[in-house]
Chain A
Amino acid sequence: MIAISGQEISKSYGHYQVLHEVSIQINQGECFALFGPNGAGKTTLLKIFATLSRPTAGQIKILGRDAVKEKDMVRASMMFLAHGSYLYDELNAIENLQFAMGLRHLTPSLRSIASTLDRVGIGAFSGMKVRNFSAGMKKRLNLAKAMLAQPHVLLLDEPFTALDDSGIALMQEYIVERVTNGGAVLMSTHDRDKAAPLAHHAGVLSQGILKTVSSKAG
């Protein structure tokens, strides 16, 4: 089944067009890596898939549902991990996870929160205010959010930045796990070495135009 489909997506900010008829299709159980230089429109494209921004033209379907008309259903089945890590400084790691899951109508048990925090390697800091977290720790905590929510569709914007080697391995491991469980992953990155081994398809976005799309067997 097609998990993510975008057809001829265009986006203009006023009259400055940042995306030109981009079409992407990702099946369940596949990972798509989006490469491209800064300012190519990668984040804009991800925001459109994440229903945070309306496309000027084009159609988006997530798991067969229209992303503009059936926003709620789409949002419930999707998670977007962006540049910012959506964390509140004054709350500790556990509270941040509880709040983030609560807004998605999920109430994970403290036990599963603790084990997820252990899995991303920050179990020892679960009671610490996020204010004192480093960028890498925040990124790990954000990954824990995705692990708890288990979204069918995962959108990742530069997932490997700020992470150390073990963090990168953790992220890669999670992407593979999501994909083998039938999820779909769309990630944007400028780091080919780390993303290429995971991706079933890859595309290069440049000046708002999706240029090369290559697929690898298997």
Chain B
Amino acid sequence: MNKTMINRVIRKIQRYKGWFGGAAALCMMAGLYVGLLASPPDYYQGEVARIMYVHVPLAHTSLLAYTVLFGGSIWYLWKRDPLVDNMCHAAAGLTALFTLLALLTGMIWGKPTWNAWWTWDARLTSFIVLLLITIGYLMLRTFIDDPEREARYAAVLAIVGFVDLPIVHFSVEWWRTLHQPQSISMRGVSISSGLLIPLMLMSVGMSLLFSYMLMVRTQMLYLVNLLDAKKGRLLSQFHLSKAES
């Protein structure tokens, strides 16, 4: 991508991001209304189950975010677009955020349901590994001075991590089945069709919210870099003129 194309993309983002934000708000408000007020409590779990309307979409969205990060990383290594790198950086931050929230809501649900905040379930373990990978990713980015190298190394980490996650999932699943029978599994929670509508609404809304945040954050990272560039140019001009006078 050259400069004019980047500018066009940035302008497109500027114009359309509001629609995504608005659609996200509508979907999620509708989903919350149906989920919290207009539907009966779950037959088995009671009111507690309602946190699922937030938890499940959060978990889905964090996987979506990491998939975006993975795709963007491959794209970056192939084409070396700085804007794609900004998008990856944005997606990584959002992956960490959504994963953390998914874990927290999962724990809040787990306490009354399983009578434990935490269990080494395959999903929980994969999610904590996902969180560790994305935090490592964000740390790695702050420890490299050359932005080109930063982008390249970060992309490599994202790709390796993406390949690793399914293996982590399977290994923990085998490990769990070995050590205790799956009496308490998330899979046991069946979803009746009445609950499906708010869940779908929330999932779509959360994905839209992610898209909106991704756009805002990508744009912001790009502009911050641009501002740094301007600052750098002005500073060196200033030093040059001082040296000449």
Interface residues of A (CB under 8 A from B): 12-17, 54, 207
Contact = CB atoms under 8 A, between A and B. Distances in A.
Contacts of A54: 148
Contact of B147 (A13, A17, A207): A13
Find the residue from B145, B225, B232, B240 having the highest chain A CB count within 10 A: B232
Contacts of B146: 13-14
Among A12, A15, A54, the most chain B Cβ lie within 10 Å of the Cβ of A15
B240 A14 contact: no
Nearest to A11: B148
Contacts of B232: 15-17
26 contacts: A12-B229, A13-B145, A13-B146, A13-B147, A13-B148, A14-B146, A14-B147, A14-B225, A14-B228, A14-B229, A15-B147, A15-B225, A15-B226, A15-B228, A15-B229, A15-B230, A15-B232, A15-B233, A16-B229, A16-B232, A16-B236, A17-B232, A17-B233, A54-B148, A207-B236, A207-B240
Enumerate the 5 nearest inter-chain pairs by beta-carbon distance, A residue then B residue, closest first.
A15-B229, A14-B147, A16-B232, A15-B228, A15-B232
A16 to B, nearest CB: 5
Interface string B213-232: 00000000000011011101
Interface of B: 145-148, 225-226, 228-230, 232-233, 236, 240
Nearest to B240: A207
B232 to A, nearest CB: 5
Contacts of B228: 14-15
A57 B46 CA distance: 62
A29 B226 CA distance: 43
Nearest to A208: B236
A19 to B, nearest CB: 13
A13 B144 CA distance: 12
Contacts of B145: 13
Contacts of A17: 232-233
